[in-house]
Structure 1
Amino acid sequence: LPAPARTGARRLAIGQPGQIGSLAWAPEPALPAPGPGEVRLRVAAAGLNFRDLMWAQGLLPEDVLMDGFAGPTLGMECAGVVEAAGPGVALRPGDAVFGFAPSAFSTHALTRAEALAPLPEGLPPEAAATVPVAFITACYALETLARIRPGERVLIHGGAGGVGLAALQVARAAGARVAATAGNEEKRAFLRMAGAELVLDSRDAGFADALRAAWPDGVDVVLNSLAGEAMERSLGLLAPFGRFIELGKRDFVENRRAALRPLRRNVSYFAVDADALPRAKPDLAQALLADIAARLAEGALLPLPHAVFDADAAEAAFRTLQASAHIGKLVIRPPAGTGAAPAPWAPDPGGTYLVIGGTQGFGLECAKWLAANGAAHLALVSRRGGETPGAEAALRTLAALGARTRIEACDATDRAALAALLARLRREGPPIRGIVHAAAAFADGAAASMDAARFARVLAPKVTAAQHLDALTREDPLHLFLLFSSATTAFGSPGQANYVAANAALEAIARQRQDAGLPALAVGWGPIADAGVLARDAATAETLERRTGVAPLPAQEALAALPAILAARIPVAHVARIGWGALGSALPVLAEPAYAAIRAAREAATGGADLREELRALPPEQARARLVALAQEEIARILRLPSEAIGADAPVAGLGLDSLGGLELRMALERRLGVQVPLAAVTEDLTIAVLANRIAGVVLEDRTEHAVQSLMDAYEPAAADAAP
């Protein structure tokens, strides 16, 4: 996979589903030019919603999000500046806007024009990013559906959140009386200050009785985000002809049944998901957003209180939302200094592309790929040139693809000969626009036999030739300088110390060129199935995959990864199909701390089988100690605490681990161990030692699913009933 880019377009991605700690800004594939009705934005700020947290934690099935405007992506609302607009769009480059966009946690986003509105003058983008989801939800729910009227009573659950505070403004502007709930005294005090007439504790099961005591006739409208029994209590608070508006997703995801008796008194039930509006009702969404923008400009509505997180603190924003430790909205700024979204990379039909090692094997496959993608002038270079077997057939194939090709004999390690060839190409053809260095040589052997001659035999055609190409083309208008490295550079290859060293040097050259502002990319390819050594030796390919888990890739499938990597403008990327479990067994170096991420992938790939076997091989007390350490490691990651600060006998709830954190912990442990973990909820008396003992009962005795459920029932009878 491509290494994280230091510059260029980026997108917030979850590396391991369910693990917030794996959030990272990944290179963003180049966005296409906007089509009819579309707009491409440079994002300045994006709002974080509970839906994003649930998706990142793996708690929302993909099908639940498929009908939404943003789909199964992170981020759905933002503010930014128009970079490009498609046909039929009134917005122009440079216009400041806010609204809805898929993958809004990105440096750039492509969205529909009707999902945007002009940014009111003087409104900062961070403040504007708090508006779209919260206010469209509140206005659509209370004004369009509930048709709220002056004097009506409204109950708003989660009043201190983004939607809650927006609904409080909308309801009060309509002349309604507002009751609101919140989970702690700080939030309840804020709601009183913001104008709520009645403020209740959402975590107290008696909130419904408290409301009835104050308002005996109940309420006319409920804006609900609670699940389970609390939802039914809220439904029972409605007066005749009341309107119940469901904003939460949990009961829908779980397909929960609800008692319908309260609806008998002409009560209406609505389910609202703002994400679906711009897709299903674009005209309505546009009208709502335009009205909200106008009211913001007039001061009739105000942006929400918010906390802003820079790009490198994105995980902290998700953790803050997870802990409900905020009032209003959380806003994330994407990485700064990224410039415009890169255009898709493609060959220049008016330039010459030089392929060293291009007369056969993977180099020739790359030449075919260039021709198929628009390169019209190719120069294939090798020591034997036209005498290479298959050279004439290669020329015919490339001609059929539309490329005028010349084959040249030249030793690229000979600087003078290479300089003469380059000079001739400049005189006789279009300007040199691209270099592909695909040459390679092998001199395998045990470490003890790796003398200077063996190293020179491999380093010269790779490193010396690359250095000459770098030095001799500095004045050419290159937009491609592609070096063929190997995926073995990341973790070594037995018997190939010289080959690994040569490829590491190529990657260093690519980094140096990029640091100097020059184009460069070194790609560490895994084994290629239908070109080069493995194409001539099927038995070796089969043995390689069986022993190491590294499956050969078809050449054109591997090369298809190039446009996205080139567009990301990163110096080094590796492309390979790897079975981490088998590779870890073949290469003990993967046990080193530097490869912790790969070990986690290996555990996921093997379903935790290796770790389970390791635990079963230990004496019981040592196995429990290992499980304690494992749980401490995961809790430390979730709570962002040092592992040594987490005692085995301290209640985890006291450390700050809440129900959502408990779900993340359970999923992380299940992924690493490959078994069901008996943890339904975070209870007041749950400690790491207790949890480790339960897991030991599953792992060491290989209990069945029924036995795991019995454990949960025994330890957490109430929690097991409420588990999602």
Structure 2
Amino acid sequence: MVTGVQAKLGATLPVVFLTVHYGLGHLAHLTRGETVLVHGATGGVGLAAIQYARLHGAQVIATAGNEVKRDLLRALGVEHVLDSRDLRFAEEIRRITEGRGVDVVLNSLAGEAVSRGLEALRPGGRFVELGKRDVHENKPLRLGPFGRNIAFFGQVTARAHTLDVCDTQAVRRIIMEAEASGHPLRGVIHSAMHLEDGFLGTLTDQQLRDALNPKMGGAAALDALTRHHPLDLFLTYSSGNALIGNPMQSSYAAGNLCLEALTRKRRAAGLPAIAIEWGAIGETGYVARNHSVQETLSRLGILPIAPGEAFRAAEDFLARSTCAWAWPARLAQPPALGRSTS
């Protein structure tokens, strides 16, 4: 968590950065030397986009709706700052780029501004649409600019909710809101955890509840509330701890084993479910933040895997969906361990 940021606000930070990474990285492939137009650049996504562009060596042209916001952008070092409410920004962009146009537009405006943004693209440019207003209002889109071989990417809107996963009423409310908005729930990924290290006999009842509730209580609530929904996936995050054990983390092992028992129960009922017994994940997360844990796992021959490898492994397990649990880990030597899934 960033120092000085409340938990409720901090929980939303990954949403804006993932939106930018997906839009500018995965879709638009923004690269060094290119120019990106960022509309509404003082919002969360806009500020994240400026950071992303600078990190990747791209030039930024930014817009904002009033002078105070435009002054903020200039104070942040953005060289070219335009008025998002003045549709002449397309002409200004041609002047700034000496007639070439920009390589990428990250758009959050609506109406005529969308067409102006398309006009601001160079041949072969990429337009990443974040807004939904024109979609909901069924507004027409001019096709002339597409003659310059430009690409148009619609964007998925993500929302972050801060709640206790064990609070069935709160979880039910989120599911109902999604249904009412026309976006029914299609998948569950349960990754909550809480550690209370200590030998089993030394843990208090409260410590046991604190450790077990996020995994056991949360999974039970999600299972009960989604049983009648046509889910494509129900993924729970277990740990290799459930397989190899750890006397100082008995409550954590118990919580993970409960997830795997629930997974087997759902699969027996014909419902989607898979539990992944994660090994050590490198670069980010609990293990990456605790060097002593890394050293302990390394002595056991369990080496960290990169987040990208972990995502690819999860994608593979979900695609095959032939096992109730799986253990992706990099091992210094194969362990003399095994367990039947029957």
Give how far 1:441 is off. Answer: 0.9
Query: 2: CA distance between counterparts of 1:547 and 1:494?
Result: 16
1:576 to 309, 322, 329: 329
Aligned partner of 1:459 among 206, 212, 237: 212
1:396 paired with 2:149, answer no
**Residue 458 of structure 1: how far off its partner (Å):** 1.2
Structure 1 pair 536–394 and aligned structure 2 pair: CA distance change class (3 A): farther
Contact 1:385 1:407 in 2 (8 A): no
Report matched runs for 1:173-322 at 5 Å. none
Q: Conserved in 2, the CA contact under 8 Å of 1:413 and 1:464?
A: yes
The structural deviation recorded for 1:419 is 0.7
Q: Deviations over 1:7-49 (max 9, x none)?
A: xxxxxxxxxxxxxxxxxxxxxxxxxxxxxxxxxxxxxxxxxxx
> Does residue 289 of structure 2 align to residue 536 of structure 1?
yes
| Residue number in structure 1 paired with 2:10 | 387
Counterparts of 1:548 and 1:456, CA distance in 2: 29
- State the 1:409 CA deviation: 1.4
**Residues 386 and 408 in structure 1, CA contact (< 8 A), matched pair in contact too:** no
Give the residue type in structure 2 aligned to 1:390: L
Contact preservation (8 Å) 1:434, 1:478: yes
Structure 1 residue 385 displacement after superposition: 4.3
SS in 2 for 1:575: coil
Equivalent AA in structure 2 for residue 448 of structure 1: G
The residue that corresponds to 1:513 in the other structure is: 266
- In the other structure, the counterpart of 1:549 is 301
SS of match in other structure, 1:410: coil
Give yes or no for contact 1:398–1:404 (8 Å, CA) kept in 2. no
Q: CA contact under 8 A between 1:528 and 1:534: conserved in structure 2?
A: yes
Structure-2 separation of matches of 1:497 and 1:579: 25
After TM superposition, give the deviation of residue 493 of structure 1 in Å.
Answer: 1.5
Contact 1:487 1:525 in 2 (8 A): yes
Aligned partners of 2:164, 2:17: CA distance in 1, in Å? 22
Query: Are residues 1:478 and 2:223 paired?
Result: no
Report the secondary structure of 1:482's partner residue.
Answer: strand
Partner of 1:450: 203
Distance 1:386 1:395 in 2: 16
User: For residues 508 and 563 of structure 1, what CA distance do their matches in structure 2 show?
Assistant: 22
Partner of 1:6: none
* Paired residue type of 1:563: E
Corresponding letter in the other structure for 1:477 = P
Residue 423 of structure 1 aligns with an amino acid whose one-letter code is M
Aligned with 2:158: secondary structure?
A: strand
Contact 2:11 2:160 in 1 (8 A): no
User: Residues 186 and 229 of structure 2 are in contact (CA less than 8 Å); yes or no, is this contact kept in structure 1?
Assistant: yes
Within-5 A mapping of 1:49-128: none
Structure having the higher Rg: 1
Residues 222-276 of structure 1, C-alpha deviations (whole Å, 9 max, x = no match): xxxxxxxxxxxxxxxxxxxxxxxxxxxxxxxxxxxxxxxxxxxxxxxxxxxxxxx
Task: Please report how far the alpha carbon of residue 541 of structure 1 lies from its aligned counterpart in structure 2 after TM superposition.
Answer: 5.1
CA separation of 1:417/1:573 partners in 2, compared to 1, >3 Å: closer, same or farther? same
SS in 1 for 2:316: helix
> CA separation in 1, counterparts of 2:323 and 2:12?
35
| In structure 2, distance between residues paired with 1:534 and 1:429 | 39
Matched residue of 1:478: which SS? Answer: coil
Shift of the 390–540 alpha-carbon distance from structure 1 to 2, 3 Å rule, reads farther
Say whether the 8 Å CA contact 1:415–1:468 is kept in structure 2. yes
- One-letter identity of the residue aligned with 1:503: N
1:447 and 1:521, CA in 2 relative to 1: closer, same or farther beyond 3 A? Answer: same
Residue aligned with 2:327, SS: strand
The residue type paired with residue 557 of structure 1 is E
1:134-173 to 2 correspondences below 5 Å? none
Say whether 1:410 aligns with 2:163: yes
After TM superposition, the score normalised by the length of structure 2 is 0.55
Aligned length: 205
Pair 1:565-2:307 in alignment? no
Provide closer, same or farther for how the CA distance between residues 540 and 405 of structure 1 changes in structure 2, counting only shifts above 3 A.
Answer: same
- Structure 1 residue 440: deviation in Å? 1.0
TM-score, normalisation: structure 1: 0.27
Separation in 1 of the partners of 2:214 and 2:298? 30
1:409 alignment partner, SS class: coil
1:468 correspondence with 2:92: no
Selected match of 2:278 from 525, 535, 550: 525
CA distance in 1, matches of 2:229, 2:169: 17
> Match of 1:487?
240
What secondary structure does 1:523 align onto? strand
1: CA distance, partners of 2:252 / 2:180: 36
SS at match of 1:490: helix
